[in-house]
A and B are shown apart, each in its own frame.
Chain A
Amino acid sequence: MIMPDIYISEHKPVKKPLLHVTHKHKVHKKYPYSPLAAFMYYPRKADFVNKDPEEEVILILRRHPITNLGWIIVSIALLFAPSVLKFFPILAFLPENFQLISVIGWYMITTAFIFENFLSWYFNVNIITDERVFDVDFVNLIYREITDANIDQIQDVTVRLGGAVRAVFNYGDIIIQTAAEIPQIELQAVPKPDRVARILRELRVEEEQEKIEGRVR
């Protein structure tokens, strides 16, 4: 005997959560957030010029911190240079007030050198969102260049990792060939390049999936 149905629920197709949405919660639980990190996976606070309101930032990359070693060593040398004056009094011919201003001026230039290098590292970033890849370059004091390409325009991703230092600290270049107007975007000296390439691959697969399912924004 077939029992009659009392209630038949409306059939709702189960929507698979997007890959990056499930990742996001795991990452936020696992890692503490630092705005000074070189590899920021799902940054908790991220906003940039030209960002679409519904666009989500997946990854922000800076050059690996070890690439700053050169200017840090120079800065330390610059900071300690005035103490050498005790042993080699090259400013002794100047009156005392001029000596004082010279030393203060030296420290001012050193401060500017350190600050400029820090700014260059901090703001020259690569941003990967769920829709696009950005390369933000500040070439000099006030010249800004932003290159972007859609994820679905990416044709090829090459990871270039060579040299002892890069192998030890696990950083390298990623070259992204695109079908956009700018044919190539280069992410230079980024940490964990293999992981970045994998994230890009996942995003491309997801973008393809969205196209097939007609969820394209």
Chain B
Amino acid sequence: MLASSATVWSVAKIFALFGLGVYIIFAFVIVRQVAIMVKTLEVGFELPIRLISLAHLLFAIGIFIFALMVL
């Protein structure tokens, strides 16, 4: 019973890490998207937007590592 419960949470952990991994790819796509957008139009607010997209990517990676440790 205890062993099957542990197996369930191990599977859940794999799913959670897979989801967070997909999210890292998504965050990376956003960084690329922002790069394309900023090349298309420059009106003076590009730096904060770039920084937000990079912070978002770093946050996604950080959460993945955190999940790897706590789950």
Quick check: which of A15-23, A42-50, A73-81, A188-196 contacts chain B, the rest being far away?
Answer: A42-50
| B5 nearest CB across to chain A (Å) | 10
Residues of B within 8 A of A104 (CB): 63, 66
Q: Is residue A71 contacting chain B, with contact meaning CB distance below 8 A?
A: no
- Contacts known (A98-B71, A115-B56); A122 close to B45, Cβ less than 8 A: yes
Q: How many A-B residue pairs have CB under 8 A?
A: 89
Nearest B residue to A40 by beta-carbon distance? B43
Residues of A within 8 A of B37 (CB): 119, 122-123, 138
Interface residue tally on B, bucketed by range: 20 to 34
Q: Which of A43, A123, A141 has the most CB of B within 10 A?
A: A123
Pick from B36, B44, B52: contact of A144, CB under 8 Å? B36
Q: Is residue B59 contacting chain A, with contact meaning CB distance below 8 A?
A: yes
- B16 and A60 form a contact (CB under 8 A): no
- B52 and A115 form a contact (CB under 8 A): yes
Pick from A45, A97, A108, A146: contact of B42, CB under 8 Å? A45
**Chain B residues within CB distance 8 Å of chain A:** 9, 12, 16, 19-20, 23, 26-27, 29-30, 32-34, 36-37, 39-45, 49, 52-53, 56, 59-60, 63, 66-67, 70-71
**Chain A residues within CB distance 8 Å of chain B:** 33, 35-36, 40, 43-49, 60, 95, 97-98, 100-101, 104-105, 108-109, 111-112, 115-116, 119, 122-123, 125, 127, 136, 138, 141-142, 144, 146
The 10 closest A-B pairs by CB, nearest first: A35-B45, A35-B44, A47-B42, A45-B44, A35-B43, A123-B37, A97-B70, A48-B41, A49-B40, A101-B67
